[in-house]
Amino acid sequence: MLRIWGRLSSVNVQKVVWCADELGLAYERIDAGGKFGLNDTRRYLAMNPNGLVPVIEDGDFVLYESNAIVRYLAARAAAESLWPGGLRERADVDRWMEWQSTVFTPGMWAAFWQLIRTAPEERDAAAVEASRRKGEVCAGILDAHLATRRYLTGEAFTVADIVNGCAAHRWLNLPLAREPRPHLERWYADLKSRPGSRQVTSLALT
């Protein structure tokens, strides 16, 4: 059976769990990382020398890097709608996945870390504000893009929506002031209504 290593509070683990649930896959998930540890053991480092979650084991095949795992699972299930085969359609999905991992999540990361994982007396208000501004820029980009399409790459839900949906779940639940983003909020509500998203979109931020 497919095995997913990683704690569900990790946004990168969330992507993999959501994708597996969306595909209806049977899997076992093992808590690792953060307070659960395990990711510094010899066995774990042999799977991922970075000591980060998630990692999957699919029989004797081991893979780390969350977005690569999501693409692998969709391709393995031959889920053409989630991970389209057409050159340009696939490039568009890939672009939004890259954007999530290199722009959106890094931009809001400090705000998340300060507001959710740092004791109030140790918080750096300037870091929160700088990160909030970066998050707002990303939210504005998503809002404008989603004004003319149901999902990120058109009318079909894809893995680009899964990985950005995980990031948006964080952004929209951070305890900070946000501009109204009707198209982003409509898209997120749509994602939230999908049974496959439930484990992730019902989670409180921790």
Ligand X SMILES: N[C@@H](CCC(=O)N[C@@H](CS)C(=O)NCC(=O)O)C(=O)O
**Which residues bind to ligand X, rule: CB under 6 A?**
10-12, 33-34, 39, 52-54, 65-67
| 62 three-class SS | strand
Choose between 52 and 162: whose C-beta lies nearer to ligand X: 52
**Cβ 52 to ligand X shortest distance, Å:** 3
Residue closest to ligand X when measured from CB atoms: 33
**Strand 27-30's sheet: what is its strand order?**
27-30, 2-5, 55-58, 61-64
- Token look-up 């899997």 returns 27
Q: Are 127 and 110 in contact (CB under 8 A)?
A: yes
**Cβ 13 to ligand X shortest distance, Å:** 7
Q: Report the C-alpha gap between 169 and 164 in whole angstroms.
A: 8
Choose between 39 and 164: whose C-beta lies nearer to ligand X: 39
Choose between 53 and 108: whose C-beta lies nearer to ligand X: 53
**Cβ 124 to ligand X shortest distance, Å:** 20
**Cβ 145 to ligand X shortest distance, Å:** 22
Q: Report the C-alpha gap between 67 and 197 in whole angstroms.
A: 16
